[in-house]
Structure 1
Amino acid sequence: MVSRVDPWSVMKLAFILSFAVGIMMVVATAVLWGVVNELGVFTQIDQLIRDIIGTESNNVNVLQYVEFSRVISLSALIAIVNLVIMTALATIMAFIYNITAAIVGGIHLTLTDE
């Protein structure tokens, strides 16, 4: 029977897993940006907007908004916010589980030796 979960160990595990997910997210963003850039999607979008707007499009440059450094910075910021939120939520859920398990008795597990 699992009647108690240590919130400190849950917090450490959630932090490490969230950190790993954050690294994967930043790397995936870099790879996806590289593929999209090599396919010329950003240039085509910029040209499409210039065609739609017309002669007033001299001040519009879509490519400055999707620069690699901006996209990676935004991805890293989202990863950091995700790390904090997921760690806090996992720790709070451990406390909630402990309170609930004290009332109803916890979860019964059957383990085999195979």
Structure 2
Amino acid sequence: MTTTPTAAGAATTERPVPRTTAPVTGATARPTTGRIPTIGGGPRRVRLAISRVDPWSVMKLAFLLSVAIGIMIVVAAIVVWFTLDSLHVFTQIDDLVTQVVGTESPLDILAYVSFEKTVSAATLVGVIDVFLLTALATIGAFLYNIVAALVGGVHVTMTDE
């Protein structure tokens, strides 16, 4: 800081020129952020708007999550099948059907609920789940981008704790 004498002989202090955040090209200063001022030393809060979602990243994330859900479907079907088989539920249902319909019935419950058919059906449901969830999430991202362009997106307030 420099001092300059005044006409009365008293010294005054010059303040340095404040730094700007404008680029060197001489453009105007940056716009202010959506930061909400805080009182005291509390956490900072920032208000943001999610105005666009990248459909490619949504598709990748939805694919990985739907693969995980498909694996959980297959594992859950196996656990349920082993639980019901160990409780002899399938044989009791088969005995009930033979008592009601008769012994000459071509209906064999145990053939329909075999382990291989149950796991195959659960795998088929898991594969269909992967395709449907991935496609629906990607279409949802495209639709969100269209709607967000019209209304401005979703506003979110984030805090720094």
Aligned residues: 113
Match of 2:42 in 1: none
Structure 1 counterpart of 2:75: 27
- Residue 2 of structure 1 corresponds to 50
Aligned to 1:100: 147
Bigger relative contact order (CA 8 A; separation at least 6):
1
Distance 1:8 1:27 in 2: 29
User: Any stretches of 5+ residues in structure 2 without a counterpart?
Assistant: 1-48
Matched residue, 2:118: 71
Cα deviation code 1:8-52 (max 9, x no counterpart): 000000000000001011001000000000100000011111111
| 1:14 partner SS | helix
CA-atom RMSD in angstroms: 0.8
Judging by fraction of residues, say which structure has more helix.
1
For 1:102, give the aligned amino acid. Answer: A
Counterpart in 2 of 1:13? 61
TM-score of the two chains, using structure 1 as the length reference = 0.96
Alignment gaps of 5+ in structure 1? none
- 1:107 offset after TM fit, Å? 1.0
Look up the match of 1:53: 101
Q: Say which structure is richer in strand.
A: 2
4+ aligned runs moved over 3 Å, structure 1 = none
* Percent identical residues: 56
> Which residue identity is paired with 2:83?
V
**Paired letter, 1:49:** V
In structure 1, what residue type is equivalent to 2:91? T
Structure whose alpha-carbon radius of gyration is higher:
2
- Equivalent AA in structure 2 for residue 31 of structure 1: V
Look up the equivalent residue of 2:68 and give its one-letter code: A
